[in-house]
Amino acid sequence: MLIYVDAPKFVKVFRENTSGDGARRIRLGVIMKGLLDFREDPKMVPTDDEKAEIAKAIASFESAADKQTQADVLRFPEMARRIAEYYETSASDFEKRLISVASLELTRKLRRAGKGE
């Protein structure tokens, strides 16, 4: 059985140690969050079954990222309204600049994407 431990930039992958030699788990490597690829620990070689399980885990992480993006899209109109209200009522000058630049970049990218259709 594999154990997955989250860290800020990667997910650590361990094998449960059943040999009883002291260590409870053996590090196999890490799944890089940005790239979603597995980097083996140079000292350990995962079995074919473990590689298959790691591939399934990576597919699950990809699916979760897609679902998060879909959820963000569905919440975007509400977020835009709340941000606009905040901009009007209490945003600092710095926050207003952040919002303005992000809005301009979004508009540019949407126009560019629209021209490509």
Instruction: Supply 97's token pair.
Output: 């600049």
Question: Tens of pLDDT along 51-80?
Answer: 999 999 999 999 999 999 999 999 999 999
Instruction: Supply 79's token pair.
Output: 């977020």
Question: Tens of pLDDT along 9-26?
Answer: 999 999 988 777 777 899
Query: Whole-angstrom Cα distance, residue 104 to residue 83?
Result: 14
Number of domains the chain is built from: 1
| pLDDT band at residue 1 using 50, 70 and 90 as cut-offs | confident
Q: Average pLDDT in the 97-106 region?
A: 96
pLDDT of residue 19: 74
pLDDT of residue 79: 96
The domain containing residue 20 runs over which residues? Answer: 2-116
Residue 26's DSSP bridge partners are 15
Residue of 28, 68, 66, 59 lying closest to 46 (CA atoms): 28
DSSP state letter for 26 = E
DSSP of 55-112, one letter per residue? HHHHHHHHHHHHHHHHHHHHHHHHHHHHHHHHHHHT--HHHHHHHHHHHHHHHHHHHH
This prediction has a pTM of 0.72
Residue 30's DSSP bridge partners are 12, 39
| pLDDT band at residue 30 using 50, 70 and 90 as cut-offs | very high
List the end-to-end C-alpha distance of the chain, in Å, as a whole number.
47
Q: Average pLDDT in the 97-115 region?
A: 95
